[in-house]
């Protein structure tokens, strides 16, 4: 039986804000989609990407969607994260080994331009006016 999980990827920071945002977003996804979600961070915070992959695989996950919680492509999404995931440049799907098992790994695009992002930006702009 196939079991899918999301690896929610954050940048990481010495300040607590990024980790909190990634963890809270993971909780929203878990509740909304009833799916296994594991957070991971490229820098500073834990778990690392490799630790989080191992955690998902140890739960019997057979398909992992690596989802970068980044707005746009950059060095991290194009080079650093794929290298940590073991994905070749420009590839969006691969298979990783976990013990005797093969696990399919899918690499999602960053959040990008979307009406939902623009709507949130508009909301934040209006909030800034109200806070003055």
Catalytic residues: 11
Coil vs helix vs strand at 7? strand
CA distance 27 to 47: 16
Contact yes or no for 36/5 (Cβ under 8 A): yes
Contact yes or no for 42/84 (Cβ under 8 A): yes
What tokens does 52 get?
């989080």
Closest CA to 117 of 78, 71, 77: 71
**Pairing mode, strands 101-107 and 63-68:** parallel
């Amino acid at each position: 039986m196939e079991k899918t999980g999301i690896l929610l990827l954050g940048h990481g920071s010495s300040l607590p804000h990024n980790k909190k945002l990634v963890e809270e977003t993971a909780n929203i996804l878990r509740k909304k989609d009833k799916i296994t979600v594991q957070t991971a961070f490229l820098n500073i915070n834990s778990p690392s990407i490799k630790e989080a992959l191992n955690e998902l695989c140890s739960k019997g996950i057979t398909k992992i969607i690596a989802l970068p919680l980044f707005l746009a492509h950059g060095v991290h999404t194009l080079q650093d994260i794929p290298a940590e995931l073991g994905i070749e440049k420009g590839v969006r799907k691969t298979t990783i080994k976990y013990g005797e098992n093969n696990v399919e790994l899918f690499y999602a695009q960053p959040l990008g331009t979307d009406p939902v992002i623009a709507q949130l930006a508009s909301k934040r702009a209006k909030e800034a006016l109200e806070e003055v």
